[in-house]
Amino acid sequence: MIGRLRISLGAIRHNAKMLRDMVGPKHAAFVVKSNAYGHGLVETALAAEPFARRVCVYTLEEAVALRDGGITAPILVLGPVPPDALNDAMAANVDLALWDTGAFARKLAGAARNRQTRAPVHVKVNTGLNRLGFEPHELVDAVEDYLHMPELNIAGVFSHLSSAEELDSPFTMHQLERFEHALALAEPLFAKGEIVPLRHIAASAAAMLWPQTRLDFSRFGIALYGLWPSKQTREASQANGIVLEPALSYESELVVVRPVAAGSPIGYGASYHAARDMRVGVVPAGYGDGVPRALSNRGAFLVDGVRCPIVGRVAMNVTEIDLSAAPNAHPGSKVTLIGCDGGECIGADDWAEWCETINYEIVARLPADLPRIYMDEDP
């Protein structure tokens, strides 16, 4: 494969340290789910681990891969775990998210009992996102049920915010109030059981914009990778001295440079016709390689330090670009899909704007089989 990603571990460390320093030395957790948002699961986790109170993933498979890769920090699995994999969860010594008092909780207790250990769980409360978790008024009954299962160790209670990327977000405060009210109702049971669970609700945007949501730790995802949850978050945080370094760049090279006569169609569906005689470069990367088809006729790549517009439809493994601004480009010339060349940069945010989506989706959908080159220098 000609295309490759370059991942700066120095940038990952820089971002992890800055975020850790922002919330305090014992209050940063880092989320490396979905192949570390496309950056590479184990390598990213190893770079962030020295600054982490916890490492968070979504699946048990990710957690096991981290243990196999040498991660020793506490790991929290945020998503559902198949009941038949609970023995693996106990063997990996990971914390599990729990929002069930029925068969799953009993099977989890049984798996812990079989290994003569206790299963650390973080009880999830739904405060308004309406996906996973107990309703706030259900937390007391859930905790009471868990206290009758001595194999379960209530290590944490958490929730997730829906609108924290906004500077004016009454709903964020509403969710925090619901969460704190649920915790207050359960506090007598925690005291009775001599339990002091870790409380967490903030992800990247909330931790940056809403300090009152940081609680016992914050779960940093997108910010770890040097990307911002929103323009508002970036502007407010940079004004407070928070500077993040994008960790990922995407490179390829031209495999063909061909002349195209004025009026000639380019690409599938003839969606673009050359407005003039032009030179077109063929880049061996398409939607099968993480280049969204929505970039067709609206995105750009960098060649020789200038933006070269995408012409025609992005195909599965090929994208064509207009080389009018890069007259010296030739087969073998480097193409920067994401990153900087000379004084010009194209970021995941640019792709997201062109595609009318978010930067999370851009990087998380970069294929796992794209070669990743890890660079260890400081940014």
Quick check: is 19 in a domain?
A: yes
Q: How many whole angstroms separate alpha carbon 140 and alpha carbon 183?
A: 8
Q: How many whole angstroms separate alpha carbon 279 and alpha carbon 324?
A: 6
**The amino acid at 20:** R
250 is known as an active-site residue: no
Do 43 and 63 touch, CB atoms closer than 8 A? no
Each residue's pLDDT expressed in tens, for the chain with a length of 379 residues: 899 999 999 999 999 999 999 999 899 999 999 999 999 999 999 999 999 999 999 999 999 999 999 999 999 999 999 999 999 999 999 999 999 999 999 999 999 999 999 999 999 999 999 999 999 999 999 999 999 999 999 999 999 999 998 888 899 999 999 999 999 999 999 999 999 999 999 999 999 999 999 999 999 999 999 999 999 999 999 998 999 999 999 999 999 999 999 999 999 999 999 999 999 999 999 999 999 999 999 999 999 999 999 999 999 999 999 999 999 999 999 999 999 999 999 999 999 999 999 999 999 999 999 999 999 977 6
Q: How many whole angstroms separate alpha carbon 258 and alpha carbon 311?
A: 13
Query: Which of 33, 37, 225, 272 does the annotation list as catalytic?
Result: 33
Q: Are residues 58 and 171 in the same domain?
A: yes
Quick check: is 215 in a domain?
A: yes
Q: Kindly give, in sequence order, each residue whose CB lies less than 8 Å from that of residue 196, ignoring residues fewer than 6 positions away.
A: 190
Q: Are residues 66 and 162 in the same domain?
A: yes
Do 60 and 41 touch, CB atoms closer than 8 A? no
Q: Are residues 208 and 252 in the same domain?
A: no
**pLDDT given for residue 340 in this prediction:** 97
DSSP 369: T
Beta bridge partners of 27: none
Distances from the Cα of 224 to the Cαs of 57, 228, 292, 317, in angstroms? 14, 9, 23, 29
Quick check: is 375 in a domain?
A: no
Q: Are residues 254 and 198 in the same domain?
A: no
Q: Are residues 225 and 318 in the same domain?
A: no
Do 210 and 202 touch, CB atoms closer than 8 A? yes
Quick check: is 370 in a domain?
A: no
Q: Are residues 226 and 342 in the same domain?
A: no
Domain end position, chosen among 238, 267, 288: 238
Quick check: is 286 in a domain?
A: yes
Query: Which of 124, 268, 334, 374 does the annotation list as catalytic?
Result: 268
Q: Are residues 22 and 122 in the same domain?
A: yes
**pLDDT given for residue 166 in this prediction:** 84
Count Cβ atoms within 10 A of the Cβ of residue 296 and give its class: 0-12 exposed, 13-18 middle, 19 or more buried.
buried
Q: Are residues 81 and 218 in the same domain?
A: yes
Q: Are residues 263 and 326 in the same domain?
A: yes
Quick check: is 260 in a domain?
A: yes
Packing angle, helices 170-192 and 139-147, rounded to 10: 30
Q: Are residues 137 and 273 in the same domain?
A: no
Distances from the Cα of 366 to the Cαs of 1, 13, 251, 297, in angstroms? 14, 21, 13, 20
Residue closest to 225 by CA, chosen among 362, 332, 319:
362
Q: Are residues 137 and 17 in the same domain?
A: yes
58 is known as an active-site residue: no
Q: How many whole angstroms separate alpha carbon 180 and alpha carbon 158?
A: 10
Quick check: is 125 in a domain?
A: yes
Outline where 148-241 has alpha helix (H).
Answer: 170-192, 204-209, 231-239
**pLDDT given for residue 379 in this prediction:** 64
Question: 152-158 and 119-124 as β-strands: parallel, antiparallel, unpaired?
Answer: parallel
Q: How many whole angstroms separate alpha carbon 161 and alpha carbon 327?
A: 49
Q: Which CATH number do you get for residue 278?
A: 2.40.37.10
Q: How many whole angstroms separate alpha carbon 308 and alpha carbon 84?
A: 51
Distances from the Cα of 256 to the Cαs of 126, 159, 183, 185, 252, in angstroms? 53, 51, 62, 67, 12
Domain range enclosing 270: 248-346
With tokens 């890069």, the residue in question is 326
**pLDDT given for residue 1 in this prediction:** 80
**pLDDT given for residue 25 in this prediction:** 87
> Which tokens sit at 335?
């193409």
Q: Which CATH number do you get for residue 209?
A: 3.20.20.10
Quick check: is 50 in a domain?
A: yes
Q: Are residues 262 and 229 in the same domain?
A: no
Counted domains in the chain: 2
